Structure 1
């Protein structure tokens, strides 16, 4: 699971899914990180504040940091007399406490934040990252910026990303224009997600 609390997530964000052009230029798929993770503390702080401002925000943040809470279990005695055996099993829905229900809800929301955000939320997050990069005066070519923008969309956007790559010249188009183009396909992408779920 991705971990927004760890600044290495920013480095991974830019390293994921390199294009054939970038790989052949580097000569290998195992390149050193192109961003220094200590440069993006402000980005981490903004994401943490945003998440903690939501209902159950502390639990959601803990779930992002540490992964989902293990399913609650209970030990019960099955059988009678000499054949009675202690068995540990997962709690049934009606056996959950309010605290366990809140933890499970926080885990679901954390997963949604990490994986199923709207394209608008993704665009805003990406745009803030680009602004942080501009502050550090790091120059990233348009082609590389756009490739990172489309390649880091969740898998249910795959066919629409392919459509963009086939119909748009990503070496001259801005990622804002790509966002506008992809935004019109969001209802279809969400249907794809629901089918996958």
Structure 2
């Protein structure tokens, strides 16, 4: 059944139809705000958070508040990408991958 106006859920993976799901997921993602960036992050990996060297010589990862506008957009898209992919997985597959930082 197709309900008019309902496009806020990604397509659900059917394990025997991965290639079809992948194509539909790519189209779904490209149709989201910043979709091309989200898809790029899924295909090429997440943002590598920049580091800064403090006055005492210790290197640390920047906090979100310290990121540039572009880096914040990338970080936000990383989160969106993860959520989109996880929402498109059936419960048994989600249980396998949800604790991994990167899954391909």
Q: TM-score range by the shorter chain?
A: 0.5 to 0.7
Alignment of 1:3-82 (within 5 A): 13-14=15-16, 40=19, 43-78=21-56
> Distance in 2 between the 1:49 and 1:62 partners?
13
> Distance in 2 between the 1:91 and 1:99 partners?
14
Question: Of 45, 54, 63, which aligns to 1:92?
Answer: 63
In the TM superposition, residue 45 of structure 1 has moved relative to its aligned partner by 3.1
Flag structure 1 segments of 5+ consecutive residues without an equivalent. Answer: 1-9, 15-34, 79-85, 123-148, 156-197
> Distance in 2 between the 1:51 and 1:151 partners?
23
TM-score by length of 2: 0.61
Task: Choose between structure 1 and 2 for higher RCO, CA contacts under 8 A separated by at least 6 residues.
Answer: 2
In the TM superposition, residue 150 of structure 1 has moved relative to its aligned partner by 6.3
Q: C-alpha offsets along residues 46-73 of structure 1, whole Å, 9 cap, x if unaligned? A: 3212101111212211221122212221
- CA 98–151 in structure 1, closer or farther in 2 if over 3 Å, else same: same
Flag structure 2 segments of 5+ consecutive residues without an equivalent. Answer: 1-12, 96-104
More helix by share: 1
- What's the secondary structure of 1:77's corresponding residue? coil
Q: C-alpha offsets along residues 92-148 of structure 1, whole Å, 9 cap, x if unaligned? A: 232111111111111101111121x2xxx66xxxxxxxxxxxxxxxxxxxxxxxxxx
> Distance in 2 between the 1:94 and 1:151 partners?
36
